[in-house]
Chains A and B, each alone.
Chain A
Amino acid sequence: MEAQGPEGEIVSQLWIFDLILLIFLVLTAVISLKVRDLLSAAMIFGVYSFLICLLWTGMAAVDVAFTEAAVGAGVSAVFLISTVLRTSRRSSD
């Protein structure tokens, strides 16, 4: 947490932002596993991908963040939703 970058002040302030993102990351991961409605689970999985994308951006890994936004939050959410709509919407466990 006491990472000092070239712009020391900014980096030491950003850890609060990172902490909030990480807490939401864990929450969305648990919720998307726990929720019975698979359509909601697919949507929350998209939110999870988007939060990871924000974390990558915060770590200045913009190429990875871009891929995560396009593939994770974009297309794979659509794939999951179309699969849910074509199969069953309720989870059995």
Chain B
Amino acid sequence: MKALGFIAVLGTGLLLLAASRDFPNWGDPDSPASSYRLSRHFITETINETAVPNMVTAVLADYRGYDTLFEAVVIFTAGIAVIGILRRYGSRNSIPSARETPLTPKKPDLIVESTVRLLIPIIQIFALYVIAHGHHSPGGGFQGGVIFGASFILLALARDLKAAQNWVAEKRTLILACCGILIYAGIGVLCQFLGDNFLDYQILHRILPTDPVMARYHSILVVEIGVAFTVTAIMFSIYSNLSSNGKMKEGI
């Protein structure tokens, strides 16, 4: 059986390697993906239509905003699924687990404590920079949200889960996650109310004091903030459920 599996994997791998010879060269301007008129439109018109220098952000949050909305919903659903499977309320202990006691006795370590105290503000400011500067440089709501969530995870690792939960309590994480999705979807519904398509931001110039191009520019920032809310909250929620066995009492 094992040999059969190895042969199957080897055969598939060789097939894929043989097929990769038909790929266009990396960066080939004549490849189908590059020569299709949509790519040319994105490359030449993004700056005129949305005033966003970073094409990737414009495509992600504006031209393909529908896609990104549901990516955020996927992350939200994943977080809800983890809570649904792992979270245990009360003191009843129905699911036996391998380790119930904390791994090490918790005592605050001076070096770890001071390092974390210095690092966390820097990490959080960098995360906010990544979110806000996604128009001009690589980054955006997903990356910034993950970095922001990682700062809480760092606090939970260095001290204990309680310390991090003093900042973002369990209830607050869930409210934050829902808020993110609602901000994103709300922008889309707002566009519909003003008479345009779902997530077609340029109509927002009627209520924003800007022209249609800048309305798209600013709406991208708003939806990135919504994505960042959801991702931050869900990352911390998944970590706290995994590390505390769903009891939210003490982490690893």
Contact = CB atoms under 8 A, between A and B. Distances in A.
Interface of A: 3, 5, 59, 62-63, 65-67, 70-71, 74-75, 78-79, 82-83, 85-88
A63 B56 contact: yes
Nearest to B130: A66
> 3 closest A-B pairs (Cβ-Cβ)?
A82-B243, A62-B138, A70-B146
Given A63-B139, A86-B99, A86-B245, A79 B239 contact: yes
Contacts of B98: 86-88
Interface residues of B, number: 32
A3 B149 contact: no
A79 B238 contact: yes
Interface in B115-132: 130
Contacts of B149: 75
Contacts of A75: 146, 149-150, 153, 235, 239
B26 interface: yes
A1 to B, nearest CB: 9
B99 A3 contact: no
Given A3-B27, A82-B242, A85-B99, A74 B146 contact: yes
Interface of B: 25-28, 54, 56-57, 60, 97-99, 103, 130, 138-140, 142-143, 146-147, 149-150, 153, 157, 235, 238-239, 242-243, 245, 251-252
Contacts of B150: 70, 74-75, 78
Nearest to B82: A79
28 contacts: A3-B25, A3-B27, A5-B27, A63-B139, A65-B138, A66-B130, A66-B138, A66-B143, A67-B142, A67-B143, A70-B150, A71-B146, A75-B146, A75-B149, A75-B235, A78-B153, A78-B239, A79-B242, A82-B252, A83-B242, A85-B243, A85-B252, A86-B242, A86-B243, A86-B252, A87-B97, A87-B98, A88-B98
Given A75-B150, A86-B97, A3 B26 contact: yes
Given A63-B139, A67-B143, 18 more contacts: A3-B25, A63-B54, A63-B56, A63-B140, A67-B146, A70-B150, A75-B146, A75-B150, A75-B153, A75-B235, A78-B153, A78-B157, A78-B239, A79-B242, A82-B242, A85-B103, A86-B97, A86-B243
